[in-house]
Structure 1
Amino acid sequence: MSDPPQVEAEQSKWQLKKKLSKAYDVVTLHLSKHSGVGFVCAVAYFDPGNWGVDLQAGSEYGYKLLFVVLLSGVFAVLLQSLASKLGCVTGTDLASHCRLLFYNRPRHTLLYRWLVLYPLYVLAEIAIISTDLSELLGSAMGLIMLFPKLPLWAGVLITACDVFVILLVGDPLRRQPVKLFEWLIAAMVFSILVCMLVIITKIEVDWGQAFFGFVPSKKIFQAGGLYTSIGIIGATVMPHGLFIGSALATQDRLSPAPLKDDNTSDAILRSLPEERKPIGILNQIRSSLSEAFRNKAFNDHKNRPQRYEDRENNSYWFVKSHIYHGVVDIVLSLLGVAVTINSMILIVASAVFYYGEGRSRSDSQNPASLFDAHDLLSKYVGKPAGVLFAVALLFSGQSSTIIATVAGQVVSEGFLNWSISPFLRRVLTRLLSLIPAMAVALALGRAGIDQLLVASQVALSIILPFIMLPLLWLTTNKEIMSVKRPESDLPALTADGSPSNPDISPASKFATPKIGSSTERDVEASPPPITEMVDYSNGKIIAGIGYLTWIVVIVANAYVIVMLAMGKSG
């Protein structure tokens, strides 16, 4: 007979193995199915505009403004998580929600359209064009650093061709994620991270002083420090990241096949993926090319709801199996990648310009530019460091501009129900940013790039509160953020998010029973299932923090506008 303590020990080991196995299944599921959106959203938070502001902060104030980098990263996590939650629960992206809110108001319809909806759409387009402009110029700068004899205008033209790369990977905004697109962005993100890690190991950094920079400093509240801090916040939290994050969160990452039924509601169809067939690489490329040039039913305005009462939120099983994975992916990517890269850029600028060899240059002239950082790294650290810096900047600009053009597609389809092909929409976005970029390259050269980068970040900072407000209101509204949970017909979810009972699949819940079948007789005989509403809206604490963040951004923008009007820039 076994000793009771020994039996308890065996049971404890078995329970521990069971928990570890379950945790392993969850992690494996997350990495294989849910990871990707976080990297796509994180790209928006370390674009070339961030590089310019972080270099200025490090060259003028050393490590003291690292706290602001961390704070802006926390702001980004909050807003991006809300955008992800909005798309996951409602099955509708932020831009489409704005149209539902303001297009068909029961009273003063035209006033809401022309004084709220369309101006908000124009601001969103300006934000995307400003973002794409800075990223286009940043990519061109990276190319010129690698090939010094290349004219600036030629670098702008070359980097403008990345829209064809997107064309090859297909439309990332389908009901089911395009993993090739996400892998492409993830590869660029990791390349940037590796380049910065190598650079930072080649320079002398006082790590004790650097980590102390994440503690609030009185230099933040000095005139120049406050202006630069606001610039970091404005350059970090990007409006277009909220649009594309909410759109990607509507995608189904678990179900293997969709339900094709003409009687199925649009909200249910959006929560189900497209059919996938095993095809060769050439056929896949051919399919992606043809898909990019045609208007798909998913983007057809006739199939999209025009009022809130005409739409439904995603099913409970969909939300339950996606929402937490989505938020975790956002948090890990933004804090682990975006904040890390921004911090390393500022640390490199501090070590080189504020404490190191470039100190005399930063004391006697304007704040360090991207070209200054490349030249000094090449001179004092070594040519490989300069090359890595240029490669990281190039990948940053390219990945960011890809995301900006896709976000333009989300905005036009959501606000206007534009039934234009994805490729033509991206070309339009690219042309609108290419014109001013080429004008600066031809007329002002390198000196004009820094001025245009600053102007684009100021525009983004001013536009951000107008995008934040509907996001905060929507995610705080209980009616919009609630889903039905059927008490008597809800299957238990396994680790992969699918029903534990294979006879009750997500698709079969919406299937129409055959006439005369036992299922039909049971439905007619049994009373309707009791349902309860599960509320996914923001709690009081999150809502309070969100609106407080909105107020901080408003005050910061007012300060920037006043300082610019007085002819001061810090």
Structure 2
Amino acid sequence: MAITVKSLSTTLWIHAKKHTGVGLVCAVAYFDPGNWGVDLQAGSSYGYRLLFVVLLAGLIAVFFQVSSHRLGCVTGVDLASHCRVLLYPRPLTRYFLLYPLYTISETAIVATDLAELLGSAIALCLLFPALEIWHGVLITAFDVLLILAFGDPLRGRPVRVFEVIIAALVIAVLICMCIIIARVNVHWPDAFLGYVPSKYIFKNGALYTSVGILGATVMPHSLFLGSALATQDRVTAQSVEKEEEKPDMLRQRIRSVFRMSHISPPQTSTSNSLSFIRLHLYHGIADVVFSLLCFAVVINSLILILASAIHPATAHSASLFDAYDLIRTAVSPSAATLFAVALLFSGQSSSLIATVAGQAVSEGFLNIRLSPVFRRLITRLLSLVPALTVAIAIGRSGIDTLLVASQVVLSIVLPFIVFPLLWLTSHKRVMSVENDNGGSVNFSNSIPTILLGAAVWLLIVTANVYVLVNLGMTT
């Protein structure tokens, strides 16, 4: 028994020291400002009844994120690069599948970064009432410069400083929300009952909001980023990092700001060694599952519970501005300040992840390595133009509309990103690795997993069709 306890404690220590980080980085995408807006709308309109939709969306996110991690860890190639390997060789698939898929993926990156930009801008305006909304947009637009100090999180070794900062922001959001909830009068029996599925979502427009929760939770860019981070060697990374450090690294980084170079194209036969997979795969899966369930699902639930507790269930839904005013009036000014701080941390952490994911998408699909500085500036500028235009021309009401529109775009894009992920992880040739005996070990999806993935994919497609038809009927 003592040996078992010692072995378990050693495993947990190794996991905490070497393997934590990727799960928190991926979890950030699942409680970004877009989620805040949808969760606040669900809580203020329908009370605690849609909490089970939050839980369901979180479980779907876990399923896809684990699949993304498995793909990168087993094959050593990220999702975007796999798409290029499969679709580039034939002109027909290149021009009618690869490039449209790349365009869709870039659209998702820009829509994601737009939501993070708007959320951070709203938080700044809440914290500093003298600021106009377009002031907040301009200020938060340049947080991309902070990323440059973290190095390049997508190269062969993890950047622990980057992961530690993201983890600190995630924990700060959770602490702020817990403090706010502690000050709010929550009817906990009703709240826990909200996790039980019910037929209520088919009444009073709750199905539309439920689709919004699903679309805002499962984020396409996190799947690209998760598969890229899963290819990194986290066991020997520290020694490699020490060997690669150079005194003139900063000078070289400045010189290479606009450098562009071709990447050696990955092959379909590429895969990591079996020893690498055994060292990383299950640690990574545990990290992803724990982070998404214990941070993303909990934070989203707390946001919805907060809206339900401070706003009676009515036909009127609360925006981020409305929620701040309600907390300030119903709870206290300090609680409202904590709400704005949590929103700011959420927006900033999600923004860092979105710009790095944009780098993974462009490198994988185009087989061209852009400078991380240049790539992230492009992502931020593309999202800055619509945000600044709407902020100046329309103001707060336009920002709320633009925030919701970005989530609709992400929901529509998601099935196109998920399909190749499910196909690749279900393919034995892609997910098989040679062992020492000359045979192979198969890591592809089992038949039940394939059927579950297909069912979830059809659910997302059906939800998107419903949203588009609903929008068409209301316009």
Q: Which residue of 2 aligns with 1:562?
A: 469
Structure 1: how far apart are the matches of 2:415 and 2:80? 15
Structure 1 position 207 matched with structure 2 position 207: no
Structure 1: how far apart are the matches of 2:457 and 2:235? 35
Q: Which residue of 2 aligns with 1:505?
A: none
Structure 1: how far apart are the matches of 2:203 and 2:86? 41
Assess, with a 3 A threshold, how the Cα gap between structure 1 residues 292 and 39 changes in structure 2: closer, same or farther.
farther
Structure 1 position 330 matched with structure 2 position 280: no
Structure 2 length-normalised TM: 0.97
1:535-565 Cα deviation digits (max 9, x unpaired): 0001111111111000000000011111111
Q: Which residue of 2 aligns with 1:340?
A: 298
Q: Which residue of 1 aligns with 2:447?
A: 540
Q: Which residue of 1 aligns with 2:264?
A: 303
- Correspondent of 1:286 among 250, 257, 274: 250
- Following TM superposition, by how much is the alpha carbon of 1:450 offset from its aligned partner in structure 2, in angstroms? 1.1
- Following TM superposition, by how much is the alpha carbon of 1:419 offset from its aligned partner in structure 2, in angstroms? 2.5
Q: Which amino acid aligns with 2:42?
A: A
2:169–2:349 Cα contact (<8 Å) kept: yes
1:170–1:291 Cα contact (<8 Å) kept: no
SS in 1 for 2:205: helix
1:168–1:288 Cα contact (<8 Å) kept: no
Assess, with a 3 A threshold, how the Cα gap between structure 1 residues 256 and 233 changes in structure 2: closer, same or farther.
closer
Q: Which amino acid aligns with 1:242?
A: L
1:130-186 Cα deviation digits (max 9, x unpaired): 010011000000000000001111111111111111100100001010000000100
Structure 1 position 552 matched with structure 2 position 462: no
1:170–1:288 Cα contact (<8 Å) kept: no
Q: Which residue of 1 aligns with 2:431?
A: 481
Q: Which residue of 2 aligns with 1:85?
A: 70
- Correspondent of 2:363 among 413, 423, 446: 413
> 1:114-513, aligned counterparts within 5 Å?
114-222=95-203, 224-255=205-236, 274-277=240-243, 283=247, 286=250, 289-290=253-254, 293=257, 300-305=261-266, 307-308=267-268, 311-354=269-312, 362=314, 366-487=316-437
2:263–2:368 Cα contact (<8 Å) kept: no
Structure 1 length-normalised TM: 0.81
- Following TM superposition, by how much is the alpha carbon of 1:285 offset from its aligned partner in structure 2, in angstroms? 7.4
Q: Which residue of 1 aligns with 2:60?
A: 75
1:192–1:392 Cα contact (<8 Å) kept: yes
1:328-359 Cα deviation digits (max 9, x unpaired): 000000000000000000000000112xxxx6
Q: Which amino acid aligns with 1:538?
A: N
Assess, with a 3 A threshold, how the Cα gap between structure 1 residues 274 and 186 changes in structure 2: closer, same or farther.
same
SS in 2 for 1:486: coil
- Following TM superposition, by how much is the alpha carbon of 1:288 offset from its aligned partner in structure 2, in angstroms? 8.2
Q: Which has the higher contact order (CA 8 A, sep 6+)?
A: 2
Q: Which amino acid aligns with 1:448?
A: G
Assess, with a 3 A threshold, how the Cα gap between structure 1 residues 77 and 287 changes in structure 2: closer, same or farther.
farther
Q: Which amino acid aligns with 1:407?
A: A
Assess, with a 3 A threshold, how the Cα gap between structure 1 residues 88 and 436 changes in structure 2: closer, same or farther.
same
Which structure has the greater CA radius of gyration? 1
Structure 1: how far apart are the matches of 2:263 and 2:406? 36
1:345-377 Cα deviation digits (max 9, x unpaired): 0000000112xxxx6xx55xx311000110111
Assess, with a 3 A threshold, how the Cα gap between structure 1 residues 293 and 67 changes in structure 2: closer, same or farther.
same
- Following TM superposition, by how much is the alpha carbon of 1:437 offset from its aligned partner in structure 2, in angstroms? 0.4
Assess, with a 3 A threshold, how the Cα gap between structure 1 residues 86 and 76 changes in structure 2: closer, same or farther.
same
SS in 1 for 2:440: strand
Structure 2: how far apart are the matches of 1:247 and 1:21? 33
Structure 2: how far apart are the matches of 1:292 and 1:336? 39
SS in 2 for 1:173: coil
1:171–1:291 Cα contact (<8 Å) kept: no
Structure 1 position 101 matched with structure 2 position 90: no
Assess, with a 3 A threshold, how the Cα gap between structure 1 residues 278 and 417 changes in structure 2: closer, same or farther.
closer
2:158–2:237 Cα contact (<8 Å) kept: no
Structure 2: how far apart are the matches of 1:253 and 1:285? 22
Q: Which residue of 2 aligns with 1:525?
A: none
Structure 2: how far apart are the matches of 1:380 and 1:230? 29
Structure 2: how far apart are the matches of 1:37 and 1:279? 22
Q: Which amino acid aligns with 1:255?
A: T
SS in 2 for 1:176: coil
1:455-496 Cα deviation digits (max 9, x unpaired): 111110010000000000000000000111103xxxxxxxxx
Q: Which amino acid aligns with 2:449?
A: I
- Following TM superposition, by how much is the alpha carbon of 1:418 offset from its aligned partner in structure 2, in angstroms? 2.0
1:75–1:549 Cα contact (<8 Å) kept: yes
- Following TM superposition, by how much is the alpha carbon of 1:303 offset from its aligned partner in structure 2, in angstroms? 2.1
SS in 2 for 1:566: helix
Could you say what the CA RMSD is over the residues aligned between the two structures, in angstroms? Answer: 1.7
- Following TM superposition, by how much is the alpha carbon of 1:289 offset from its aligned partner in structure 2, in angstroms? 4.1
Structure 1: how far apart are the matches of 2:237 and 2:391? 48
Q: Which residue of 1 aligns with 2:35?
A: 50
Q: Which amino acid aligns with 1:301?
A: H
Unaligned runs of 5+ in 2: none
1:377–1:386 Cα contact (<8 Å) kept: yes
Q: Which amino acid aligns with 1:95?
A: A
2:35–2:217 Cα contact (<8 Å) kept: yes
Q: Which amino acid aligns with 1:535?
A: N
2:35–2:213 Cα contact (<8 Å) kept: yes
1:73–1:334 Cα contact (<8 Å) kept: yes
